[in-house]
Amino acid sequence: MLIQKNRSIYLVSPVIICLYLVLLAFPASTLHAQDTEYPVKIIDHHKFYEYTVQAREGFFRLKVKFKVSEDEIKRYNPEAKDGLRAGMKVLIPVYDENGNHVKAVPEQRFKEHIVERKQTLFRIRKLYSISEEELLKHNPHIRGRSLQTGDVLKIPIAGDAGSDPTNETAVQKQKATIEQAATPPPVRMHKRHFRIAFLLPFMLDQKHESTDSRFVEFYSGALLAINEAKAKGRTIEVFTFDTEKSDLKVMEILHDTLFENIDMIVGPAYSNQVPLVCDFARIHRIRTLIPFTSKVVGLESNEYIYQFNPGQDTEINKLAEVLTTEARNANLIFIENPYVAINDEGNQLVSQLKVLLRNHKTDFKSLSIDPSNTTALRPALNPSGENIIIFNTNRIGTLSAQMRQLIQLSDSFQVKIYEPFSWRTLKAEKPASFYLSAFRNEYPDKTYEEYMQKFDSIFGWLPVTENPRYDLLGYDLLNYYFSTADLPAASKAGHYPKYEGIQSTIQFEKATDKGGYINKQLNHYE
């Protein structure tokens, strides 16, 4: 992606907000060069002919026609390494008479800015890094008066080369192919300078009540880890963006903002935004940490993604391990509501868990019970041993009648349910339970006390989130990043080293040979 290098940074305590830049785009054109004329693509600021190989044409004929070497053709067209085929489209670099690769010619372009409430001329100038003289030159209608909400301003975009917006996706794919062929992914050994971008929903443009303290706390914990890394000699630049809850906002940030030489992206928070950032990370080869979402589409094929929140597969495997070892003598009962949707996560968990239990030759019972039916539970219970209940739904609101019945039966039977982690913050009535979590229940005393003293001295306020503590999540993840940033890719070993944070044990493991990484560390709690 081609990016204009202008930016302004505003400090909004404790958030640094990098405001918008502009993605430049130039239409594909047709040029006369190297004594020929073919469609031209603009890729990475340079011009390429897009040529369709004709029948019986080989490298020699293309070398003569375009005055390029066979190695150059293969460099920009990795798919041609085994030879050319009729109908194959290849990219040929365009050279001038001095043998230099031709750069795209910049042109003047504009974007529109609609003046928002309470927005001043000074703020707009800072937003776009433009002088007052130039702004007035292109907007004479605002001379001699104050800005009004709804005014439409023309903002000049500094000249640069780009791609045809209608063909942007194709050009990005071609650019990615060229970069992969021409330059191997860098191995960052003993790196001291880092550029980190945070994409989090601070909701700064909303009313104060709408601001989600979880993400402010996460960011604050991350900043504390960054501060400690700086004290150890690392140079770190932080770029932070308010993504709100909209995928359109994320698209705006990715396409209109400077992301040159970013080492890591942290975020986003919401599942609808994740695919956009993951695609961007793959194209631009940026290590990207997804802290919250447990469902990252494309993780299996995107080597730049790091998913902290263990997914359902990890949960099922860990649950099967607990049931076949620590709880192997328990009376295991699946209570299945026949009306539950197929795509209910609880339904999927039960289906896959049964397969693993059968493989381990572990006995279990399955009861298909309407949620209002409470009489079928008692006969299935073992009066002389432990009974473990697993429901086929994550919707605890549909289980209130059965929960009350199990609480009553707990007076006569040893009953325990498996509790999805999402139920931990709910105030619904439940019998005794066990659950799996990526977060510790108790923190190491000395380390935690030192952390809290640092947090209070820097920020002057205390976190309010619990189970998990979002500030500790940000702190642990950024510390883990700095502890592994100097290591080569983990593709050979299949995993990075294990890290013991204050709240979490973290170890990223390869999801697949060609995919990204996922943290599979889960704790079993009663």
User: Looking at 17-26, 448-457, 463-472, which range is the least confident one?
Assistant: 17-26
Give the CA distances from residue 260 to residues 28, 60, 195, in Å, rounded to whole numbers and listed in that order: 23, 38, 9
What is the longest distance spanned by two Cα atoms in the chain? Answer: 92
Task: Reply yes or no on whether the pLDDT at 202 is more than 60.
Answer: yes
CB under 8 Å to 257, separation ≥6 — which residues?
3, 7, 18, 20, 21, 241
Whether 28 and 143 map to the same domain: the answer is no
Q: How many domains does the chain have?
A: 4
Whether 281 and 194 map to the same domain: the answer is yes
pLDDT digits 0-9 by tens, 127-186: 788 888 888 988 998 888 888 888 889 988 764 433 333 333 333 444 443 344 444 343
**By C-alpha distance, which of 93, 117, 86, 85 is closest to 34?**
93
Task: Reply yes or no on whether the pLDDT at 230 is more than 90.
Answer: yes
Q: Look at residue 419 and tell me if it is in a domain.
A: yes
The pLDDT of 220-231, averaged and rounded, is: 95
Q: Which pLDDT score is estimated for 488?
A: 61
Q: Which pLDDT score is estimated for 25?
A: 28
**By C-alpha distance, which of 489, 452, 457 is closest to 471?**
452
Please give the mean pLDDT across all residues of the chain: 82
pLDDT digits 0-9 by tens, 347-405: 999 999 999 999 999 999 999 988 887 788 999 999 999 999 999 999 999 999 899 99
Residue 454, strand partner residues? none
Give the Cα-Cα-Cα angle 50, 176, 38 (nearest 5 degrees). 10
pLDDT band at residue 126 under the 50/70/90 scheme: confident
Task: Reply yes or no on whether the pLDDT at 26 is more than 80.
Answer: no
Residue 421 DSSP class: G
Expressed as residue numbers, the domain containing 51 is 1-6+24-104+159-184
H-run or E-run covering 444: none
Whether 260 and 351 map to the same domain: the answer is no
Point out the domain boundary residue: 376, 403, 437: 437
Whether 92 and 124 map to the same domain: the answer is no
Pairing of strands 264-266, 193-200: parallel
Instruction: Find the CATH number of the domain harbouring 380.
Output: 3.40.50.2300
Whether 321 and 297 map to the same domain: the answer is no
- Which percentage of the chain shows pLDDT scores above 70? 83
Higher pLDDT, 29 or 493: 493
Point out the domain boundary residue: 437, 469, 493: 437
- Which percentage of the chain shows pLDDT scores above 90? 48
Q: Which pLDDT score is estimated for 522?
A: 96
Instruction: Find the CATH number of the domain harbouring 147.
Output: 3.10.350.10
Rounded Cα gap, residues 437 and 525, in angstroms: 8
Joined tokens for residue 372: 């209002």
User: Looking at 19-33, 194-208, 358-372, which range is the least confident one?
Assistant: 19-33
pLDDT digits 0-9 by tens, 275-321: 999 999 998 899 999 999 998 989 999 999 999 999 999 999 999 99
Determine whether 64 is exposed, middle or buried from the number of CB atoms within 10 Å of its CB (0-12, 13-18, 19+).
exposed
pLDDT digits 0-9 by tens, 36-73: 578 888 877 788 888 999 988 888 888 888 889 988 88
pLDDT band at residue 453 under the 50/70/90 scheme: very high
Whether 112 and 67 map to the same domain: the answer is no
Whether 176 and 40 map to the same domain: the answer is yes
Whether 430 and 498 map to the same domain: the answer is no
Task: Reply yes or no on whether the pLDDT at 235 is more than 70.
Answer: yes
Q: Look at residue 526 and tell me if it is in a domain.
A: no
User: Looking at 26-35, 157-166, 405-414, 514-523, which range is the least confident one?
Assistant: 26-35
Q: Which pLDDT score is estimated for 211?
A: 63
Residue pair 290/267 in contact (Cβ under 8 Å)? The answer is yes
Q: Look at residue 19 and tell me if it is in a domain.
A: no
The pLDDT of 409-434, averaged and rounded, is: 93
Rounded Cα gap, residues 240 and 219, in angstroms: 9
Task: Reply yes or no on whether the pLDDT at 14 is more than 60.
Answer: no
Q: Look at residue 17 and tell me if it is in a domain.
A: no
Whether 175 and 53 map to the same domain: the answer is yes
| Secondary structure, 3-state, 195-231 | EEEEEECCCCCCCHHHCCHHHHHHHHHHHHHHHHHHH
Q: Look at residue 16 and tell me if it is in a domain.
A: no
Give the CA distances from residue 4 to residues 1, 204, 255, 281, in Å, rounded to whole numbers and listed in that order: 10, 25, 10, 18
Whether 297 and 199 map to the same domain: the answer is yes
Q: Which pLDDT score is estimated for 182?
A: 40
Task: Reply yes or no on whether the pLDDT at 215 is more than 90.
Answer: yes
Whether 153 and 169 map to the same domain: the answer is no
Inter-axis angle of helices 470-484 and 445-459, nearest 10 = 100
The pLDDT of 330-338, averaged and rounded, is: 96
DSSP-based three-state secondary structure for 194:
strand
The number of C-alpha atoms within 13 Å of 352 and in the hemisphere containing its C-beta is: 17
Report H helices in 325-372: 345-359
Point out the domain boundary residue: 437, 460, 492: 437
98: number of Cβ within 10 Å:
5
Higher pLDDT, 262 or 42: 262
Q: Which pLDDT score is estimated for 186?
A: 38
491: number of Cβ within 10 Å:
12
Concatenated DSSP letters for 96-161?
-TTSPBPBPPP--EEEEEEPPTT--HHHHHHHHT--HHHHHHH-GGGTTS---TT-EEEEEE----
Whether 414 and 271 map to the same domain: the answer is no
pLDDT digits 0-9 by tens, 79-101: 888 888 888 988 999 988 878 88
Q: Look at residue 525 and tell me if it is in a domain.
A: no
CB under 8 Å to 160, separation ≥6 — which residues?
2, 4, 24, 45, 104, 106
390: number of Cβ within 10 Å:
22
Q: Which pLDDT score is estimated for 301?
A: 92
Joined tokens for residue 101: 């690769």
**By C-alpha distance, which of 421, 384, 426, 386 is closest to 403?**
426
Q: Look at residue 248 and tell me if it is in a domain.
A: yes
Task: Reply yes or no on whether the pLDDT at 4 is more than 90.
Answer: no
pLDDT band at residue 7 under the 50/70/90 scheme: very low
The pLDDT of 239-254, averaged and rounded, is: 89
Residue 95 DSSP class: B
User: Looking at 20-34, 279-293, 395-409, 432-446, which range is the least confident one?
Assistant: 20-34
Cis omega (within 30 of 0) for bond into 14: yes
The pLDDT of 335-345, averaged and rounded, is: 92
Q: Look at residue 12 and tell me if it is in a domain.
A: no
The pLDDT of 259-277, averaged and rounded, is: 91
pLDDT band at residue 17 under the 50/70/90 scheme: very low
